[in-house]
Structure 1
C-alpha cells in the first residue's frame, strides 16, 4: 500500500515554533492548518488516540504535532504493509509498531504495484542501520569498508523488506508542496517494511 492523500483536501494541523521557521517570520509557537503531504499516525483507531512517538525521538513517550516531528507521520509516496483495518482507519507496521491513520474508503492510499517483498531466511533478528553501504567483501581492493553503528532503539525480529523509493530524511511539509511531490528527492534503496524510516537490514 502507498500513502497517497489528496493534497488539497488533506488539511493537517501542526505546531510551528520559531526554530522551525528559517525565514524568521514565526516569532512564537503557532498552530497552522494547511494542505499537507502526510497522514498522522496514532496508537489506536481514534482521532483522540495519542500520536505515535518514534523511539529515536521520544523513547517510550507519545509523539507530537510539531512540524519537525517526523516520527508521527507517514509521507506521500511511502509504502507499507497493511496490518489491520477498523471502520475508517487503516493500520500499518511502522517503526516496529502497529499504528493507525484515518483512511475512509481508502482515500489516503493506493494499491502498490511492482513491489518486491524480500523475506529473510529463518527468524533470527537482523541488525538495523541508518544508511545503506556494501558488505565489506564488496569493496574494491585498497578501499576501506564503512563502519556503522546499529540502531539499537528498535527491535526487529527478522521482518521482510521491500524494494521501493524512499526519502532519506522525512519532514512534514506544508504549502507550497506540489500535489505530485516534485520537491521530494527519492532514492531507490532497500528499505524494511516494518522497521523505522531510513533503517537498513543486515544480518
Structure 2
C-alpha cells in the first residue's frame, strides 16, 4: 500500500494499515481430563467477536463444527464434494445432506476420513472451505489477533455428558505462534451394574 501525502502533518491524510497477526485456533475434546483420550463426535456452535482499532465490533457466527471430522450445514437440501487438494482436482467423496435433528438443519457429517486436510465445495456455491481432520480436534484457520472465540457444545461424544458451559478463548499477539491449542474435557457417563431384586427370601 502506497500513500502520497501533500501535507505530512495533516492527520486526515494519514493512512492506517490494519495488519493483523493470524493463527489457527485448535480445540481438543478430551475425556475425563486425560489428554490422551481424544473424542470424536462432539458438536459445537462457534462464534467469534473482535473489536477493530477504530472501535467497530465485528461478530461472526461460524456455524457448527464436529471434533474429528467434517460438518457442513445449510437451511436447505444440498450436495457437496470433498477434495484432498486446494485446487479441487482430486475428489474423494460426494455427499448429499439429510435432516439433522440436533442442528435442526440439513447437514452432512463425516467422521471416518483419514487424518489430513480437506476442501469442501457445496454445489451451486462459489467458495470452498478448508478442514483439518484429526482425532478429537476442531481447527479454525486464520483467526485474527484479539479475536474472542466461543465454543458452545451442542452434542456430546457418545458415552459422555454434555458440557453446557460455553468455552471462551482468545487469539493473542504472539506473532511467532501459528497454532493456539486448547483442551476441553467431558465426563464419562458411568452406568452402575445393579443386581436385580428377585423378591425371594431365604
Question: With structure 1 as the length reference, what TM-score do the two structures score?
Answer: 0.25
Greater share of strand: 2
Question: With structure 2 as the length reference, what TM-score do the two structures score?
Answer: 0.25
Greater share of helix: 1
